[in-house]
Chains A and B, each alone.
Chain A
Amino acid sequence: MKTARTQVNLMNVPIRPLFSSLRRNPTGAVLVALQVAITLAVMINAAWIVAQRLEKLERPTGIDTRDTFEIGIVGSSRKFNVAQAESEDLAYLRGLPGVAAATVVNGILLTENGGDTDLSRDPGTNGPVVGANFLTVDDQALNTLDVPLIAGRNFRADEIRPLTKGKQTPPSEVIVTQSLARTLFPHGSALGRIIYNGDSNPLTVIGITRDFMGPQVGAPAYNTVLLPTMPGQAGLYALLVRTRPGMRDTVMREAKQHIGTAHRFGITGFSTPLAKAERQMHAGDRNTAILLTTVTALMLAVCCLGVFGLTTFNVGSRRRQIGTRRALGASKRDIVAHFMMEGALILSGGAFLGSILALVVGNWLTVHYALPRLDLVYLLGGVLALWIVGLLAAWQPARRAADVPPSVATRTV
């Protein structure tokens, strides 16, 4: 069978009669439009989430993860003397020949085990706040992380607030990452400026470090504030250790064994080389991206099947009408255009509904999962992609409709 020239002018298809016949026979069209809407809403938001995850995969940790590990220590009883354990552990670790540097810290980097907080340029709780990972550390933290200062200075040993039985003296100096400094003080340097943590005492920024990733529970990865405070008030702390190149595993094994038996009422908890933490962090993002992409692709395929099925059904059940239209002067292209236009109308209805749904879902994700607000480019891109893919799905049955011979008008009664 000869094929019609493929140039199909949709503009020649009358929309109003198409609309009214859709209105009189809406079931299939409405179902497919709903399917399109749901697919679109999922697709757009999934693409947005995947984009965030892929971006995260690209980002460096800013830490020498290869030679660094952490060991968490948990008190098993109220009698656990944290301050004493900390100083014993640090003395032990710093005495090991394989260790380059060691510090105490209140969380495990890159693993979402840690704390975050809100910082502000104004005291009180009303002003705009910036989320940040917060690390309570001693003066060896930057050295251990191998993160350089960009401006200012490190904590001095005498500034580190020791753990005390009662209320710990709050710090008045902080070091912040470059990202955090820029977010808090977009204009001018943050060095020497004062920031607040709720109703806390004023905190003076004494140093700014190159960016590195914190534990990132809820805060942006590179927003981190370091406080000169010995951690462990709740009975748990972590030891962060950087070894000499290649000695990480040996030192970690040895240290775990020693510390595991060193304290009364204290046991080693979660411990990990940071390289592994980094891998797992990325694995999570990668798996999420793969899962979402797969689910979206499946939904899109099913949606195409819906459009294909509906068009195929319509073509099959309207053979006589197609033959009649041909007899009345429709060219093959007119017939293709007719079914493509019908598909386009259904897709547009679905896309309209789906866009609204996508915005609602996007907003919900922003509110509940701290996802950045949906970029409208993704909305437009999603609509366009679904439209094109949907029309491609309608194309084959529409082409078959054009092959219905005009004689069908008289031959089938």
Chain B
Amino acid sequence: MLRMQDISKIYRTDLIETHALRELSLEVKAGEFVSVSGPSGSGKSTFLNIAGLLETFDTGLYELDGREVSGLSDDARSRIRNEKIGFIFQGFNLIPDLDLFDNIDVPLRYRRMKADERRKRIESALELVGLASRTKHLPSQLSGGQQQRVAIARAIAGDPALILADEPTGNLDSLMARQIMDLLEKINAMGTTIVLVTHDPELARRAQRNIHIVDGVVIDSPPYQSRFTQFPPRTTAGAAAE
């Protein structure tokens, strides 16, 4: 489903170069449920953003669903995001002045889908996350856990092959977090590949496999049981050092 080889990503500001990813290589097979953990600043979000085509990378190869994506145009990347990938964000990212129905409708509209097809998908997605009766509610009228479930409904409505979730439970209490995890497992069971970035060792353990990223590279043995030290990201004062 997803194969990265020697992916490097450097963030450059006026004074500082940050090596967020250093020749990172990993593979996620179709149908897998993979968790990604690691210390803060280690590059987990960077990895996920690159995987989801939200950001570009500097060097390396990235094959998504059998297709090399590095040379693709902005439009083509948008289309892949729209058709193949479902995003779940830590902050839910629902559009505040659209009701639940219209929120879930957003990616389907960008796919230029017919109205009745969209309606069918929205209703069954809301059904799946248990919010079928709330289509006309605004996000602000829901709890955080409910909002995240709407976001999940939005992510799956387009029937993506891959779901990318960056700390989806980061803003939720542990009960709601477990409910979200249940939901993700259910979706995975229906065949969707899931990559989940999480700090929570309990949730990470529930995935089929855990990938550990430290300082921009994948560490082989996942030490999530132990208390690892926090690696600060290595930054080189590029221009300033000269």
Q: Please give the residue numbers on chain A whose beta carbons come within 8 Å of chain B beta carbons, in ascending order.
A: 2, 4, 12, 14, 16-17, 20-21, 24-25, 320-321, 324-334, 405-407, 409-411, 413
Contacts of B97 in A (CB 8 A): 20-21, 24-25
Q: Give Cα A405–Cα B97 distance, bound, in whole angstroms.
A: 22
Interchain CB contact under 8 A, B89 and A324? yes
Interchain CB contact under 8 A, B111 and A324? no
Q: Give Cα A407–Cα B45 distance, bound, in whole angstroms.
A: 10
- In the complex with contacts A17-B102, A328-B107, A332-B74, A12-B81 CB distance below 8 A: no
Nearest A residue to B86 by beta-carbon distance?
A: A328
Interchain CB contact under 8 A, B89 and A20? no
Say yes or no for B242: interface residue by CB 8 A criterion: no
Say yes or no for B112: interface residue by CB 8 A criterion: yes
Contacts of A324 in B (CB 8 A): 89, 93, 95
Say yes or no for B90: interface residue by CB 8 A criterion: yes
Interchain CB contact under 8 A, A410 and B54? yes
Nearest B residue to A25 by beta-carbon distance?
A: B97
Interchain CB contact under 8 A, A328 and B89? no
Contacts of A320 in B (CB 8 A): 93
Q: Give Cα A326–Cα B93 distance, bound, in whole angstroms.
A: 12
- In the complex with contacts A320-B93, A324-B89, A324-B93, A329-B81 CB distance below 8 A: yes
Contacts of B102 in A (CB 8 A): 16-17, 20
* 28 residue pairs A–B, Cβ–Cβ below 8 Å: A4-B74, A14-B105, A17-B102, A20-B97, A21-B97, A21-B98, A321-B93, A324-B89, A326-B54, A327-B81, A327-B87, A327-B93, A329-B81, A330-B82, A331-B74, A331-B75, A332-B74, A332-B78, A405-B54, A405-B55, A406-B54, A406-B55, A406-B81, A407-B55, A409-B93, A410-B49, A410-B166, A413-B90
Nearest B residue to A3 by beta-carbon distance?
A: B74
Q: Give Cα A12–Cα B52 distance, bound, in whole angstroms.
A: 24
Contacts of A24 in B (CB 8 A): 97, 138
Contacts of A325 in B (CB 8 A): 95, 106, 110
Q: Give Cα A347–Cα B230 distance, bound, in whole angstroms.
A: 54
Say yes or no for B121: interface residue by CB 8 A criterion: no
Give, as a whole number of angstroms, the nearest-CB distance from B32 to chain A: 21
- In the complex with contacts A20-B102, A410-B48, A413-B91, A329-B111 CB distance below 8 A: yes
Contacts of A21 in B (CB 8 A): 95, 97-98
Residue among B78, B79, B82, B106 having the largest count of chain A Cβ atoms under 10 Å: B78
Interchain CB contact under 8 A, A328 and B154? yes
Q: Give Cα A300–Cα B87 distance, bound, in whole angstroms.
A: 43
Say yes or no for B63: interface residue by CB 8 A criterion: no
Among A20, A329, A413, which residue has its beta carbon within 8 angstroms of that of B78? A329
Contacts of A329 in B (CB 8 A): 78-79, 81-83, 107, 110-111, 158
Say yes or no for B109: interface residue by CB 8 A criterion: yes
Q: Give Cα A284–Cα B184 distance, bound, in whole angstroms.
A: 78
Contacts of B185 in A (CB 8 A): none
Say yes or no for B99: interface residue by CB 8 A criterion: yes
Nearest A residue to B45 by beta-carbon distance?
A: A410
Nearest A residue to B106 by beta-carbon distance?
A: A328
Interchain CB contact under 8 A, B45 and A330? no
Question: 19 more A-B contacts (CB under 8 A) besides A327-B52, A328-B82?
Answer: A2-B74, A4-B75, A12-B112, A16-B102, A17-B98, A17-B102, A17-B105, A17-B109, A20-B97, A21-B95, A324-B89, A324-B95, A326-B78, A328-B87, A330-B110, A331-B79, A406-B54, A409-B87, A410-B45
Cβ < 8 Å to A, chain B residues 4-56:
45, 48-49, 52-55
Q: Mark B169-184, 1 if CB is under 8 A from A, else 0.
A: 0000000000000000
Contacts of B89 in A (CB 8 A): 324, 409-410
Cβ < 8 Å to A, chain B residues 121-142:
138
Contacts of B75 in A (CB 8 A): 4, 331-333
Contacts of B95 in A (CB 8 A): 21, 321, 324-325
State the 10 A-B residue pairs at the shortest beta-carbon distance, nearest first.
A329-B82, A21-B97, A328-B107, A329-B110, A324-B93, A24-B97, A406-B54, A331-B78, A17-B102, A407-B54
Q: Give Cα A98–Cα B105 distance, bound, in whole angstroms.
A: 90
Residue among A25, A328, A333 having the largest count of chain B Cβ atoms under 10 Å: A328
